[in-house]
Structure 1
Amino acid sequence: MRFFNTEGPVRPEMHYVLPPLQRWDLDEVLRMIAQQKYFLLHAPRQTGKTSCLLALMERLNREGQYLAVYANLETAQAARENIQLAMTDIVQTIAAEARLEHGDTGLYALADEVLARNAPTRALREFLTQWCERSERPLVLFLDEVDALVGDTLISLLRQLRGGYRQRPRSFPNTIVLCGVRDLRDYRIHASSEDEPITGGSAFNIKAKSLRLGDFNAEEVNTLLSEHTRETEQVFTPEALARVWTLTQGQPWLVNALAYECCFELPAGRDRAQPIDVALIDQAKENLILRRVTHLDQLADKLREPRVRRIIEPMLAGLSLDDVPVESLEYLTDLGLLRRVNGSIAVANPIYREVLPRMLAFTPEASLPQIRPTWLTATGELDPEALFDAFLAFWRQHGEALLGSAPYHEIAPHLVLMAFLQRVVNGGGTLEREYAIGRGRMDLCLRYGHLTLGMELKVWRPGAPDPLAEGLAQLDDYLAGLNLNSGWLVIFDRRPGIPPLAERLSSQDTRTPSGRAARVVRA
């Protein structure tokens, strides 16, 4: 029985799959190969790049006009800037892949000879030259995970490929495709003897084009999920199909991971007589986040990078991006963290939008003391009045001390509050977060059983007026969208010279402009 794939390239005999070659402009790719072009394929991790390259290699070899070989260079990353070790690994990896694909055992001897007789800074070029001269067909070479290489090793690789370019196709590959997460413009390489970075473009200025592999569209998501229905007769309800699209926005790994969790991990989903509904999709989403699966963990790890923080922190705080370089925005887009929506920048999908603040709140949540769930009734329902009292007591006693545990200073209060609320919903609810550039606030929606609670988080910054009036108007709009008649407005005072938290913490009941009840907390 086939299943949804979440690890490595797809194998049609094992996995539900969309035809990889349909995911990009194949006519354009074949035209560039015919024109002896060198180009790039880049996309975020686990979006299907390797599957596309392997499918193209199989097609080219089947048609017989070209000799196509795929090689993953990731193992050379361990060599760091040891060019000799890295080039030895790269040459031997390419030779091994050619043997596996075409049975060419003679390349092992050629690799040993070239590595013994040439400097590491020209060994790869010489290896490719001699290989192409003895080949009856023009060579098309796919080099994957190139951007895993660093420093002098990456410089040497790019410049050796550039150096042999004019000899193609008789004495150098007809076409070379470099594949990785980042586009060439972001191959920022610091040579050990230089202070200024060398850009990938200057080291590989023979690139014809950069192709980006996109996410699935809504129709492709439904087509992939229908593969499971066709094979097992287990259906996804229309609402579940829509929910998968909404949560993932077509990110290939997320689509497959949600579907696999529903159909092969959750007991209710393993019953093929039962349809996959929205509740199962939501449970699967929560399971993936709670388990910190590798894909999401790698995503969260990027939050430590300064240029990522420079964008994500103000975005979470609802601030505008002032002087952020275009290259940084492009980098986060290449990573798959962000996407453009009608010209604006937004987090790529709702799952990532939830993961980012939850991962940032992980340390504050781990730092929380044991808190007795006084907000639950004897029957296990959430009492909003008791929750409000518990929050005030928690914030008065622990809020200020915990602010230092938050990794992003600008949104430290938000992260501590979310850590507290995550403890609340871990008993059987959900916490949804909404934020965006320039909105001036973060919205939280806590759902627990039959109760839905909307909250607006605002910050009173130095030199700014009291945000109460603006916050009440924003809370009004948010509650209207949730179809609620009451909610919380929490104002975090971040001005210097204010009294300690325990002294200034206060609450009041008031009304929004349209008359909805609002609990205002000044913290």
Structure 2
Amino acid sequence: MPRWFNTAGPCKADIHYMLPPTVRLPSLERLIAQESYFVIHAPRQTGKTTAMLALAKQLTESGSYAAVMVSVEVGAPFSDDPGTAELAILGAWSDAIAIRLPQELQPPAWKFEDAGQRIRASLQAWAQTSPRPLVIFIDEIDSLQDKALISILRQLRDGYPERPKNFPLSVGLIGLRDVRDYKVASGGSNRLNTASPFNIKVRSLTLRDFNASEVEQLYQQHTEDTGQVFTPEAIATAFDLTQGQPWLVNALAKEIVEEMVTDVNVAITPGHIHAAKEILIKRQDTHLDSLAERLREPRVKAIIEPILAGLELGDVPNDDIQFVIDLGLCKMHALGGLAIANPIYREVLPRVLTVTPMASLPQIAPTWLTQSGELDTDKLLQAFLAFWQQHGEPLLGSASYHEIAPHLVLMAFLHRVVNGGGTLEREYAIGRDRMDLCLRYGKITLGIELKAWRDKRRDPMESGIEQLDSYLARLGVNFGWLIIFDLRAKALPIEERLTTEVTTTKNGRSVTIVRA
């Protein structure tokens, strides 16, 4: 039977390319032997469910435990009715356990008498009759909210002292977030802010991404099955763009081998990887779309906006920093500082934020193209100046991130340009005080540096020229634009401040300075 790269749901060894599912899990056997309750949290589609199903199977087959993974997701619609949530959850558990455990380890009939006590009572009855200690992995725990969530956490805490004879020996909660970020409507907050209802947890653990060697191993399985080769350079490019995020690693390969390069005699190159990246970003598959939706949350915006603007974070709570890391949006960079988790996400986030400004654009004729369809950068500059003078400031209100509203409107304009067959790449980071753009169209590579002149700051022109000089050197080109957005409260009207001048860097590169 042919195997495939999987981008939806748990992996199955008979039909999917996959790595040993538990290899990326932190060692849990010792925690389980110590009768510990714990939390496993990791972003969506990183392999949590696949790994925990496999671990439960291994533990059961060892003969030492009755281990099973169950889900509470069916209780999610009943957040304010714990009794109804319990009934839905126990029904789903019965079905899952019937499939995943042998007959001799099946539980007795669930206890349905007392609403608000059914989970605890049922697990107690099972532990008392089970020939082996119970290990229960509860998946999708943070799909529950409010009363239903707190009820189940408290029932687990209530039974905890009676383990292992009268309650499960070990319980793992599996989800996107650590306990303190579970959603509740109480106390003036929309989350717990504490581990209190589940303060019996010993550890909070996460599932790491693939390393470079594991990406190579995964892609090599396709080569072994089909003969189609991923060149070493292609594999390195895939790892660089994804940083090992499992869904992205699989999605790139799936797009290439199933849609782009179906002839197995054709080797996969870095060019194919980059082309697949563009397709994924433009298509906004569910995984990327769900990340983008997070950008609307105030606590996420408070971190992502300064990163995009190149500013310092300011007074951001530690929990909020951990939250964006738990979501997989950000990571702590090896050289220090918070950074977007991988280059693909780095492209996705600002591109998503330009959707509304793009929808707000007026119709713009492509006056920047020559008769042969090539990009004329001088005409592009004139088109931008005319656009900005007429539409720039009115469109700022269409951008949801105020600190980078001019950047987003400019990027929306440039996306109109590259829609004809080019690409737009972005570089930004905390504390850089700039955003760099690279517009590629045919033979033309245009480096653009965006700077913001804010109140109580000096004119950024001098530093901008120096920074752009370095950026152009990396791009291997000798000309570029420095665009300075004047965001000061006392800035001149747009008609008076919109000017251009050409200068030369100390290394002889030509820079057009645009004050906007």
TM-score range, shorter chain: over 0.9
Q: Kindly report the root-mean-square deviation, in angstroms, between the aligned alpha carbons of the 2 structures.
A: 1.6
* More helix per residue: 1
Aligned residue number for residue 486 of structure 1: 479
Aligned residue number for residue 316 of structure 2: 324
Counterpart CA distance in 1 for 2:54 and 2:495 is: 63
TM-superposed CA distance for 1:308, in Å, is 0.4
Aligned residue number for residue 96 of structure 2: 97
Residues 1:119 and 2:100 are matched in the alignment: no
Q: Which amino acid aligns with 1:257?
A: A
Counterpart CA distance in 2 for 1:173 and 1:428 is: 59
The range that moved more, 355-364 or 461-470, is 461-470
Aligned residue number for residue 86 of structure 1: 85
SS in 1 for 2:383: helix
TM-superposed CA distance for 1:200, in Å, is 4.4
| 2:343 maps to which of 336, 347, 350 | 350
Q: Which amino acid aligns with 2:175?
A: G
Aligned residue number for residue 160 of structure 2: 165
TM-superposed CA distance for 1:437, in Å, is 0.4
SS in 1 for 2:28: helix
Taking the TM superposition and a 5 Å limit, the aligned residue runs for 1:405-420 are 405-420=398-413
Aligned residue number for residue 42 of structure 1: 41
SS in 1 for 2:363: coil
Q: Which amino acid aligns with 1:150?
A: Q
Residues 1:233 and 2:227 are matched in the alignment: yes
Aligned residue number for residue 330 of structure 2: 338
Taking the TM superposition and a 5 Å limit, the aligned residue runs for 1:227-306 are 227-266=221-260, 269-306=261-298
Per-residue deviation, residues 446-476 of structure 1 (Å, max 9, x unmatched): 1111111101100111122111111111111
| Unmatched segments (≥5 aa) in structure 2 | none
- Whether the 8 Å CA contact 1:488–1:519 is kept in 2: the answer is yes
TM-superposed CA distance for 1:284, in Å, is 0.7
Q: How has the CA–CA distance of structure 1 residues 348 and 421 changed in structure 2, closer, same or farther, with 3 Å as cutoff?
A: same
Residues 1:110 and 2:117 are matched in the alignment: no
Residues 1:506 and 2:505 are matched in the alignment: no
Q: Among the aligned pairs, what percent are the same residue?
A: 54
Per-residue deviation, residues 211-252 of structure 1 (Å, max 9, x unmatched): 110000000011101111111110012221111011000000
- Whether the 8 Å CA contact 2:180–2:192 is kept in 1: the answer is no
TM-superposed CA distance for 1:109, in Å, is 7.6
- Whether the 8 Å CA contact 2:451–2:482 is kept in 1: the answer is yes
Q: Which amino acid aligns with 1:179?
A: I
Q: Which amino acid aligns with 2:168?
A: P
Residues 1:473 and 2:466 are matched in the alignment: yes
Aligned residue number for residue 24 of structure 1: 25
Taking the TM superposition and a 5 Å limit, the aligned residue runs for 1:410-449 are 410-449=403-442
Q: How has the CA–CA distance of structure 1 residues 356 and 301 changed in structure 2, closer, same or farther, with 3 Å as cutoff?
A: same
Residues 1:452 and 2:445 are matched in the alignment: yes
- Whether the 8 Å CA contact 2:141–2:174 is kept in 1: the answer is yes
Counterpart CA distance in 1 for 2:151 and 2:364 is: 57
TM-superposed CA distance for 1:291, in Å, is 0.8
SS in 2 for 1:160: helix
SS in 2 for 1:509: strand
SS in 1 for 2:217: helix
Q: How has the CA–CA distance of structure 1 residues 11 and 396 changed in structure 2, closer, same or farther, with 3 Å as cutoff?
A: same
Counterpart CA distance in 1 for 2:101 and 2:347 is: 46
Per-residue deviation, residues 161-205 of structure 1 (Å, max 9, x unmatched): 0110111111101111100011223235343xx446644411111
- Whether the 8 Å CA contact 1:397–1:502 is kept in 2: the answer is no
TM-superposed CA distance for 1:104, in Å, is 5.6
The range that moved more, 75-84 or 50-59, is 75-84
Q: Which amino acid aligns with 2:344?
A: I
The range that moved more, 148-157 or 244-253, is 148-157
TM-superposed CA distance for 1:403, in Å, is 0.8
Aligned residue number for residue 175 of structure 1: 170
Per-residue deviation, residues 235-288 of structure 1 (Å, max 9, x unmatched): 01222111101100000000000000001122xx11111111112111111111
Question: If the length of structure 1 is used for normalisation, what is the TM-score?
Answer: 0.95
TM-superposed CA distance for 1:402, in Å, is 0.9
Q: Which amino acid aligns with 1:281?
A: I
Residues 1:14 and 2:10 are matched in the alignment: no
- Whether the 8 Å CA contact 2:105–2:131 is kept in 1: the answer is no
| Unmatched segments (≥5 aa) in structure 1 | none
- Whether the 8 Å CA contact 1:98–1:104 is kept in 2: the answer is no
Counterpart CA distance in 2 for 1:105 and 1:226 is: 40
Q: Which amino acid aligns with 2:376?
A: D
The range that moved more, 175-184 or 59-68, is 59-68
Counterpart CA distance in 1 for 2:491 and 2:69 is: 62
TM-superposed CA distance for 1:512, in Å, is 2.2
**Residues matched between the structures, number:** 513
- Whether the 8 Å CA contact 1:43–1:335 is kept in 2: the answer is yes
Q: Which amino acid aligns with 1:285?
A: K
Per-residue deviation, residues 29-82 of structure 1 (Å, max 9, x unmatched): 112212211111111110000000010111122222211121121121111222
Residues 1:394 and 2:387 are matched in the alignment: yes
SS in 1 for 2:203: strand
Aligned residue number for residue 134 of structure 1: 129
| 1:185 maps to which of 180, 191, 194 | 180
Aligned residue number for residue 65 of structure 2: 66
